Structure formats: structure tokens, C-alpha cells
A and B are shown apart, each in its own frame.
Chain A
Amino acid sequence: MDQYVKVTFHCRCAVLVDGVEAGFTNKIFQVETGKHVFDLGTNPCNPTNHTIDVCNTLPDKPLVIIFEKV
């Protein structure tokens, strides 16, 4: 049930998964299969969060989640 995501943002910062720091932006990291809420904490970004069912990813085909600078 391992999934892989890459959260893109203009700078490196911590990614919160369901409210807990669980990885860094612009670097692939592993999450558990399921519905998750991704956000960048207090960093101003657009959108403020993504709620996504994460499944069927591979290490070399991660789910890419995009946050843009506000």
C-alpha cells in the first residue's frame, strides 16, 4: 500500500499530509494509500490545500501535486 508523491512549489519547504509534516516539496516521498489532505502549512500558496485519493502510483511515476506561489 505504498504510494509516491512529488509536491511541487517554488521553494523547498515541509509538506503537511493530514496536518502532519510528512515530506519536502520538490522531492519524492512515500505516503500510505488513501485519501489525504496536502498543504504547505503557513506558506502562502495556491490552492491552500489539495484533497486527493492517492493510489496506483509507482516510485518512477509518482503523483505530482502542484502548489503555486501567491
Chain B
Amino acid sequence: MRATRLLAAFLVALVSACASFPETKQLATYDKTQGYRYDSLDAKENKEDLFVVVSFSGGGTRAGALAYGVLEKLRATTIDIDGERRNLLKEVDVISSVSGGSFPTAYYGLYGDEIFDSNSRFQRNFLYHNIQSDLIFSLFNPYNWFRLMSPEFGRIELAQELYQDLLFDGATFRNLEQRHRKPFLMINATDMVKGAQFTFTQAQFDPLCADLGSVKIARAVAASSNFPVAFSPLTINSYPGSCNYVEPRWVEPALHDLDINPDRYYRARMLRTYQEKEHKYVHLLDGGVADNIGLRGPLTSMRSNDVEGSILNKINLEKIKKLVLITVDAKNEIPSKLDQSASAPGTATVINSISTVPLDNYSFDTLELIKDTIRRRDDAQRTQPDLHQLEIYRIYVGFDQIKDAAERKAFFEIDTSFNLPKEQVDALRRKAGDILAQSPCFQKLIGPGMKKTKGASLACP
């Protein structure tokens, strides 16, 4: 009896001692021509003159279904490019995503049009699947109890394993890179120490001397949808100073910009911090914590010459003639009766408020910044005809675009969950396509385009 107990204790200790998060491989030598980067993708089929950036927000299956509906509509839309009708989905250059929006992003990036098959794993195992119960079920597996005793193995690792089984198998960013095809994926998480966006691109991994190619896609998606408290933080290894990393040349001058451009200064400082040898790990939370709309990366790329693959530089170099930004925002608004009672809301309600209100406010600010950035560019072009005359189309897909009040309310009240009824998923897919099709700027893009008269605005709206 005693021997059996000892054996059991030994096995428990063994299982928990062996359980650890998957190690991120060290980058042998820094090489900015290698790894998953925008510039390493083939631009022959999808040229940059029409540059389409799509962002998918967080919001569980609601966000995934809305994003999927937009992909379906883009696929069903053709656009005239140099006299040739092209499928608009094939013209998408970049998809930036957060949380629930990262599932269709990663799946489309890996498997392309297979995502649209009625029997695709994406439909069967994500859109119309109760992922939530699978996640909970994995916690009841006694084998996992022992693994979870290890401080280096958390609930997020169970989520990653589930996403591998259901959707991505063992696919890595090396596999994605080897496809050489756009769109370029920006799957976003949040660095919980720096409070900043962390994007799964090799440019982000370079200062860590870590090889993104070795990272599984399922791990990036798990990090991006790593809702705080429900899951444990996800850890990435860092090996700063070990790969002859060469810091980009903008960093040194930007460190003098605290007064005139603090945003640039802090970007530079962050990049420096990642290079400090004592920082051996990066702990990641849901991308929504830093940016729940997935637009901050594209916004910075539109405003800065510094970031790898800068959209601003492509505009300056006259590579882009039409810039299209499609924002898919699954923000919901669950009605509250709290203000009908004198009783103070409970702790869970308070936690829910403090975890969602700042995200919504920040998303609102990001959308306003995008509008402002476009307006200023348009004004500048009208004032100065020597600037490259760029057409800009901003298209927003969100529930507040629904005209019918009752219908709008019904969509706004869809829960944030990884398990939605089939009818809701179907409705979200259809509504995504409808909102996109009814957008005046979308109609202008696929139709007549801009009127190019002297001094006229080239931005929509």
C-alpha cells in the first residue's frame, strides 16, 4: 500500500516536473531578410498599388463570426484593377487581429480559401463549436491537474493544445512564411510587463533573439485570446544579446524625442528594453488589453517611417495609389439594470467594468485617431499638390451601422463567449456582409472611385 502511494506521488511529481510551456527557439543569427516579415512575402499576385488593411477586433466567437462574414463578402466582391476584374479578398495585404478575431485571421493565413468550405475545420471546430466547454472539460482531466501544478504550465497551455487539435495542428510561423503569400498577418497580444502591444512578427522577435518560425500558430492565437484571469499569462523565451542583433537606425535619434514626440521616444525605449540581457521572458495577455480593435499597428505604420514595412514610406515612395482600411469591430453593449437599484454592484460586476470600460474607451480613441490621421493627410494633399496624391477609403463594420433599432439592439446584446447558437453565428456572418456592402466608401471603392478634380478630397469619408 505504502509502495503504491509512493509510486503515485513519484508519478505526480514527475508529470508536474515535466510539464512546461513550449520553449521558443533561440535565433542563431539575426538576419533581417529572414523570418516572417511583410517584405518576405510575394507581391507579384497582390501588388501594393491597391493596399488593403483589414483589422479584426476581439469578442470571442461573435468577433470570429463577424470577421468571417467580412472575409466571405470580400471574396464575393470583384474590383477593377488596370482593366482586370480582381477578387477583393486576394488584394488584402495585411490583416491585424486581436483575440477572437485572431482565429479566422490565422486560419485564413494558413489554409487560404479552404476556410470557406462548408465542411471546413474552421466552421466545424470553431464557428459552430462549443470551444468553451472543451476548455472547461480539459480542466477536469486528472492528467492536466498534475501538469497544472507546475509553475511553468498554465491553463493557457491547455488552450493552445486545444486550438492545435481543433484547428491548426502543429503549424508554425515557418509554415506560414513558406507560403510566401499575402496577407501578412499581425496577430496581436499584450506584453503585460510593458503594457504594450506585442505582435507575432519576426521584427518583434528580433530584439529578443527568438525565432518566431519555431512558434506554433496555435500559441500565437492562444496568446492573442488570452483573456486575463480566465487563463494564465503565456510565456515567450527571450535571449537578448545572443544573435548579433542590429538595432534599427531610428532608435538612437528617437531617444531624443521625449519632448517633441513622446510616442516615438517610448517606442524606442521599449525596443531598447527588449535588448537588455536580464529580460529572459515575455509574459503575454490577450491582445485586447493593449488594443481591442487591432488597429494600433496599422495606425503606427501609417504615421511613422520607423516600423518595418511602414505604410507611410510606401505612400511616400508612391507604391500605394489607393489605401483601404477595413475595421471590423464586434463591440457589444449588454444592457445593465444596475442604475435602477440603490445596491452597490458586486465584486464580479466591478471587475467586469474595470476590465472592459478602458478597452472600449481606448478603441474609440483609436478609431478617432485613424479618422484624424486620414483627415490630416487629405488636407495636406489638397494644400500641397506636390505630395503623392493618395486615395484613402475607411470602412467600418460594427453593429452601430445597423439602421433598424431592434435589430441593432439584438446584435449589440450577443454575448462574448466561445459558444454561440448556430442562428446567431449565421446572422453575424450575413450581417457582416450586409454592413460592408452598404458602406458608402465600400461602394465607392468597388464602383466609380474618387473624382480627381483639382483640390478635391481623396478621402472617404
Contacts and interface: CB of A to CB of B under 8 A. Distances in A.
B249 A27 contact: no
Interface of A: 1-2, 4, 6, 14, 17-24, 27-37, 51, 53, 55, 58-60, 62
Interface string B316-348: 111000000000000000000000000000000
Interface string B238-281: 00000000001110011011001101100000000000000000
A22 B249 contact: no
Contacts of B257: 33-35
A23 B305 CA distance: 10
A17 B312 CA distance: 12
B383 A55 contact: no
Given A18-B253, A22-B313, A34-B261, A28 B305 contact: no
A64 to B, nearest CB: 12
A34 B254 contact: yes
Contacts of A37: 249, 253
B387 A59 contact: yes
Interface of B: 248-250, 253-254, 256-257, 260-261, 263-264, 303-306, 310, 312-313, 315-318, 376-377, 379-381, 383-384, 386-388
B303 A20 contact: no
Contact of A32 (B248, B249, B264, B387): B264
Contacts of B248: 18-20
A24 B305 contact: no
Given A1-B303, A20-B313, A55-B260, A27 B386 contact: yes
| Residues of A contacting B: mostly | strand
A27 B389 CA distance: 12
A23 B263 contact: no
9 contacts: A1-B261, A4-B380, A18-B305, A29-B388, A32-B305, A34-B260, A37-B253, A59-B387, A62-B384
A58 B379 CA distance: 11
Contact of B249 (A14, A19, A59): A19
Contact of B384 (A36, A51, A59): A59
Given A20-B310, A22-B310, A22-B316, A32 B384 contact: no
B253 A60 contact: no
Contacts of A24: 316-318
A17 to B, nearest CB: 5
B303 A28 contact: no
A17 B305 contact: yes
A21 B313 CA distance: 7
A31 B316 CA distance: 9
Given A34-B256, A35-B257, 17 more contacts: A17-B250, A18-B306, A19-B250, A20-B248, A20-B305, A20-B313, A28-B387, A30-B380, A31-B312, A32-B305, A34-B254, A34-B260, A35-B253, A35-B254, A37-B249, A55-B261, A60-B384
- The interface centre, meaning the residue of B248, B261, B305, B384 with most chain A CB atoms within 10 A of its CB, is B305
Closest 7 pairs (CB-CB, A-B): A19-B249, A59-B384, A35-B253, A18-B250, A59-B380, A29-B316, A23-B316
A51 B316 CA distance: 20
A2 B377 contact: yes
Contacts of B304: 32
Nearest to A27: B386
A27 to B, nearest CB: 6
Nearest to B251: A18
Contacts of B383: 58-60
B317 to A, nearest CB: 6
B365 to A, nearest CB: 15
A52 to B, nearest CB: 9
Contacts of A1: 261, 263-264, 303
Contacts of B261: 1, 32-34, 55
B387 A29 contact: yes
Contacts of B253: 18, 34-37, 51
Contacts of B264: 1, 32-34
